[in-house]
């Protein structure tokens, strides 16, 4: 061996203890994280130690690999050289992917980095074995007999370094795991307010249909604190902050109604609503005498409404009749989840970022992507225990969707297989900078765009209001004015162009003084449930139908705004429900605990249409042609309810035109009996 070669060997020996120490411990901790089959505290500690050791290995490996490479350049053993170069490439991939994950975490969009790291780790071991075997069987006999010559970088210090580093890694994992268990604060399963009243039986949450995985109460720390989620999911959090989900409890109309319910009955009755509007208040045991319901400003339940865990903590749908019919199961803790100091919080966030497997599996449960998830709250019934009468079905968007062509289970869509879920419409995929984004950078929107324009207007959120209006005007509802067909249309024998000879449509016109009948067809083309949906007893959806002559004079109107308060013509065609109480009186305050049935209910099922016929007399003074127009208009909350419910926050709520159509109709003067017209004259001459 030349002196130059000996120099590189000595350098390699000098750097080998740290190289082998970190290589072995990184390999061992890496395989522990992969093969553990779970993510307990010691496995999470292994992820942390593995990441730290991996970064150290990348640093200390460089001088060793450089010396090893320079030492091997002069040797004519192609198999060793090729396998060594391949091993170096795989090590670089392993190190680069590891550094990337250590810095950015395991985001879904860049899942391929984790995949590259995972497989390159196995390849490093495999190629290393091959490289050693090639070296072992191609080296000359003299060196093969001399252990120093055969493996010059492996010596007593290197072996001692491996043993020492392995021991330190094991102690570190044990220490972190033990520190977690010693400092963690046990979660309470007792109600937040005691004594806790169970007015509606021995179930703690009735009359809500909500369940918990252990049948008891949930610690507030396991369901509140959505701001923690915002640390990593900032863009999603910004959307949620503007959404109706976040404002489900602070909604001023809801606050008025839940206060009324607590006053007319008691706070335990508010559990009926709070399972969906304020799950924090329900599940922590606040809804008892001395506690606070979600309508109380400043409480965690009021601030968050339906927070992150309000949905992501749902493990399954208990049944599909609604009223909060879900089972809640909080996510498992990461290291130092309950410890309140900067270092512990930093470790907690970092481990979650580099080892999100547990987070992903528990907070992205399969139920979240199903319509059944939405059915737990967007379906509702009232029972005798609430209305002192009997069982009454109320809103049920799930059943309406199930009967629609979009469910894939409807008799008209079995052959199509073109299913659309609630999430496809109300949580469409969009590009966001979020760690949960898929490989295309797409994530489900958390705007939850629907039809609640009121919240955005009251809060002055123009951007969110514009999103809702755009959603309402997406051509999901259509209006069509049918051209009237006359059986007595006048005819003559004038020559016709061949291009129109086959046209069988008769002329559409009306005579002055004639009674006209116009059909307006409103079609639910793209709404996945009945139109309108939700709180149809207090929302307003109606047809604004108008007829004007050529001078702009109004001939007929139905559905106009009739005063400065912008009240709607009470004779208009409305799509709504009119709930009634036991005395047959209209339950107009949305105090549905008094409801026993409907005096009227008019909705359009998905894929169906409604025809409204308008009759009016064409005045003799009208100047033709007539312009017939129809608009489907929508306002979140009718004026009577809005003024009562919004109280000092009342503003004139905007009206959105969801669809429209227009038709031009000629007007003719009806000939007197026996009078000669150009048409009749031509017929007589024949």
Answer whether residue 415 shows pLDDT above 80. Answer: no
pLDDT band at 492 (very low <50, low <70, confident <90, very high): low
Structure tokens at 136: 């072992």
pLDDT > 50? residue 686:
no
> Are the C-beta atoms of residues 580 and 394 closer than 8 Å to each other?
no
Q: pLDDT at position 147, please?
A: 54
pLDDT digits (tens, 9 = 90+) for 502-520: 555 667 899 999 999 999 9
First vs last Cα of the chain: how many Å apart? Answer: 126
Return d(Cα 189, Cα 212) in angstroms, integer.
Answer: 11
Looking at per-residue confidence, does 500 or 215 come out higher? 215
CA atoms within 13 A on the CB side of 174: 6
CA distance 573 to 554: 19
Taking 90 as the threshold, does the pLDDT of residue 192 lie above it? yes
Could you report the per-residue pLDDT of 90-138, keeping only the tens digit for each?
A: 999 999 999 999 999 988 888 899 999 999 999 999 999 999 888 888 8
Mean pLDDT of the region 49-67: 91
Instruction: Give me the pLDDT at residue 508, please.
Output: 85
Pairwise CA distance, residues 153 & 17, whole Å: 8
| Residues in CB range of 448: below 8 A, 6 or more apart | 243, 244, 245, 426, 427
- The number of C-alpha atoms within 13 Å of 187 and in the hemisphere containing its C-beta is 17
pLDDT exceeds cutoff 60 at 496:
no
Residue 282 contacts residue 274 (beta carbons within 8 Å): yes
Average pLDDT, the chain: 90
Which candidate, 465, 467, 639, places its Cα nearest to that of 542?
A: 639
Residue 679 pLDDT exceeds 70: no
pLDDT in tens, 639-661: 999 999 999 999 999 999 999 99
State CA 38 to chain mean position distance: 28
Per residue in 141-158, pLDDT tens?
Answer: 545 555 555 677 777 888
pLDDT digits (tens, 9 = 90+) for 69-98: 887 776 777 888 899 899 999 999 999 999
Cβ neighbours of residue 685 closer than 8 Å, sequence gap 6 or more:
none
Q: Which residue has the higher pLDDT, 8 or 528?
A: 528
pLDDT at 685: 44
pLDDT at 505: 60
Give yes or no for a contact between 49 and 170, defined as CB atoms under 8 angstroms apart: no
Query: What pLDDT sits at residue 4?
Result: 57
Q: Specify the 3-state DSSP secondary structure of 81.
A: helix
Mean pLDDT value across residues 564-590: 96
- pTM attached to this predicted model: 0.87
| Sole residue written with tokens 């005096």 | 599
What single DSSP character describes residue 669?
P
pLDDT in the model for residue 371? 95
At CB < 8 A and 24+ separation, what contacts does 449-453 make? 450/244, 450/426, 450/534, 451/532, 451/533, 451/534, 451/539, 451/634, 451/636, 452/244, 452/534, 452/636, 453/635, 453/636, 453/653, 453/654, 453/656
pLDDT tens for 165-183 read 999 999 999 999 999 999 9
């Amino acid at each position: 061996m030349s002196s130059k070669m000996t120099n590189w060997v000595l350098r390699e020996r000098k750097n080998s203890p740290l190289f082998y120490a970190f290589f072995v411990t990184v390999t061992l901790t890496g395989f522990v994280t992969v093969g553990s089959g779970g993510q307990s505290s010691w496995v999470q500690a292994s992820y942390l130690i593995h990441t730290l050791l991996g970064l150290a290995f990348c640093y200390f490996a460089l001088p060793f690999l450089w010396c090893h490479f320079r030492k091997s350049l002069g040797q004519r053993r192609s198999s060793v050289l090729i396998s060594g170069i391949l091993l170096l490439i795989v090590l670089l991939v392993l190190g680069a992917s590891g550094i990337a994950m250590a810095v950015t975490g395991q985001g879904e969009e860049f899942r391929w980095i984790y995949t590259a790291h995972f497989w390159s780790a196995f390849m490093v071991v495999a190629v290393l074995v091959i490289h050693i075997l090639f070296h072992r069987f191609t080296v000359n006999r003299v060196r093969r007999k001399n252990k120093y010559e055969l493996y010059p970088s492996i010596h007593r210090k290197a072996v001692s370094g491996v043993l020492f580093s392995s021991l330190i890694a094991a102690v570190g994992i044990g220490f972190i795991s033990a520190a977690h268990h010693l400092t963690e604060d046990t979660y309470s399963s007792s109600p937040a307010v005691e004594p806790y009243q169970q007015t509606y039986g021995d179930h703690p949450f009735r009359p809500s249909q909500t369940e918990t995985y252990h049948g008891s109460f949930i610690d507030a720390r396991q369901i509140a604190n959505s701001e923690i989620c915002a640390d990593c999911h900032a863009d999603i959090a910004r959307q949620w902050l503007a959404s109706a989900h976040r404002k489900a409890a602070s909604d001023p109309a809801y606050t008025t109604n839940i206060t009324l319910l607590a006053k007319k009955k008691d706070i335990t009755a508010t559990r009926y609503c709070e399972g969906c509007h304020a799950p924090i208040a329900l599940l922590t045991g606040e809804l008892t005498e001395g506690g606070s319901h979600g309508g109380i400003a400043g409480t965690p339940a009021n601030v968050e409404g339906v927070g992150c865990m309000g949905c992501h903590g749902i493990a399954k749908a208990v049944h599909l009749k609604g009223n909060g019919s879900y089972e809640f199961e909080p996510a498992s803790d990461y290291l130092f989840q309950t410890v309140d100091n900067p270092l512990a919080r930093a470790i907690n966030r970092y481990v979650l970022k580099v080892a999100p497997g547990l987070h992903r599996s528990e907070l992205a449960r399969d139920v979240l992507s199903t319509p059944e998830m939405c059915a737990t709250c967007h379906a509702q019934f009232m029972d005798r225990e609430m209305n002192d009468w009997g069982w009454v079905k109320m809103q049920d968007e799930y059943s309406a969707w199930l009967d629609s062509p979009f469910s894939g289970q409807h008799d008209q869509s079995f052959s199509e297989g073109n299913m659309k879920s609630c999430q496809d419409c109300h949580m469409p995929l969009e590009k966001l900078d979020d760690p949960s984004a898929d490989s295309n950078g797409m994530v489900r929107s958390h705007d939850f765009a629907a039809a609640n324009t009121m919240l955005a207007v009251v809060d002055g959120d123009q951007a969110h209001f514009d999103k809702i209006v755009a959603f309402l005007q997406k051509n999901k509802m259509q209006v069509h004015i049918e051209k009237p067909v006359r059986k007595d249309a006048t005819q003559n024998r004038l020559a016709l162009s061949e291009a129109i000879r086959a046209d069988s449509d008769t002329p559409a016109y009306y005579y002055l003084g004639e009674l006209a009948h116009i059909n307006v067809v409103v079609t639910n083309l793209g709404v996945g449930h009945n139109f309108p949906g939700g709180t149809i007893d207090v929302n307003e959806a109606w047809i604004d139908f108008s007829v004007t002559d050529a001078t702009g004079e109004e001939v007929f109107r139905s559905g106009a705004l009739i005063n400065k308060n912008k009240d709607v013509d009470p004779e208009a065609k409305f799509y709504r429900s009119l709930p009634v109480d036991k005395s047959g009186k209209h339950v107009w305050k949305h105090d549905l605990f008094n409801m026993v049935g409907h005096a009227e209910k008019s909705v359009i099922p998905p894929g169906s249409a409604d025809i409204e016929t308008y009759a009016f007399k064409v005045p003799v003074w009208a100047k033709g042609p007539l312009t017939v127009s129809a608009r489907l208009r929508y306002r979140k909350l009718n004026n009577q309810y809005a003024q009562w419910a919004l109280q000092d926050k009342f503003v004139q709520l905007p009206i959105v035109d969801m669809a429209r159509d227009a038709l031009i109709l000629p007007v003719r003067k009806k000939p007197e009996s026996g009078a000669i017209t150009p048409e009749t004259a031509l017929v007589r001459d024949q």
